[in-house]
Structure 1
Amino acid sequence: MEHKLNIESSVTHQNDLIKLEASPFEILMKFGVSEEDVVADIGCGRGNFTIPLGKIINRNKIYALDNSEKMLDEVDKRATFSELNNIITIKTDHNNLKLESSSITFAIACNVIHEVEDKQAFLDEINRMLKDNGKLALLNHSIQCEEHQIKAKDLISIEVIKELLAMTGFKVQEVFNFDGTSYGILATKI
């Protein structure tokens, strides 16, 4: 699973950061991330959620997981620039997220699941890492997005995600609509 987003494009990179830096805090608060959480940002990309998580949670660790060394290097640079020392970057494999079982209380996957071939195995792996009653926040595009290279074939409906979550041991707690372009689903491990 290689990223569809081109990290080499510095113009897209800068626009992406400017556009997203204002909203991750609000999104994370809606999802109910707390200072007490131990979080895995799965498919962290450049760290658009990892860095805000590092600012919200200063007592626990944030695991930035990605299969791209370039993306993880970018997260490390941004964490250093932001003087955050609670972010740990981990290079992952397809359905091996490389964290211990029951080691986190909160997982977030932003615009990742459409890139995963075996979605059920991916959600099973997240379930394995979460403690009992741990939370999973999924954020996905609901419309095509040229800037993020999301095509109609990449879109996954809320209903499909809910079915996958139910099959992998999650209970949907809440569904959010973010500006009509993305939706979020908050689920709890049961």
Structure 2
Amino acid sequence: MVRKWKLLLVGVSCIMGTTMAQNNPILLFPKGAPGETTKLIEKADADGGKTGGETVLRITNVSEPTITVYPAPDEVATGAAVVVCPGGGYNILAYDLEGDEVCEWLNNLGVTAILLKYRVPRREGRAKHEAPLQDVQRAIGYVRAHAEEMNLDPQRIGVMGFSAGGHLSAMASNTFDKRTYPAVDAADKVSCRPDFCLL
């Protein structure tokens, strides 16, 4: 019932904006993510169970991390942005429940939301958060480097996560002094330190 109420609260304009945002994901590593040798066939499943009576979209086999920008409506925009990290035990991403629904809620608060589709499942022979940490560092740096064109304040970029995404957000908030991957472009020369963190 709560999730249905949230969707009603969002309103038609935000839902239309969400649809437009979902059609325009930004590839974080255009020449391939660090350490990825094989492109996985991404899988999305909405039949894996229910939360609060609603199905949850579960995404796995992500080898090409992306961000999707959900701009805050102009009339309420604050200039703040939050990179949203869904949970899923570093094996799947609970992409709607802890992803786009959260982005819609943040938009209602005047916050631009950046939905991160980070690499899952865990990579054999690597720490569970190693590849996702590269993805979130790149996402924060990318948003900060493009803050002006996104109408954002580069000193008001935070990170938010749920479950494994909460762990990832905490890692990003404590591991920002050095990139964990080779620099790709100018976005990797700006800070990847979150200005605030919600776990």
- The TM-score, its normalising length taken from structure 2, stands at 0.30
Task: Name the structure with the higher strand share.
Answer: 1
- The TM-score, its normalising length taken from structure 1, stands at 0.31
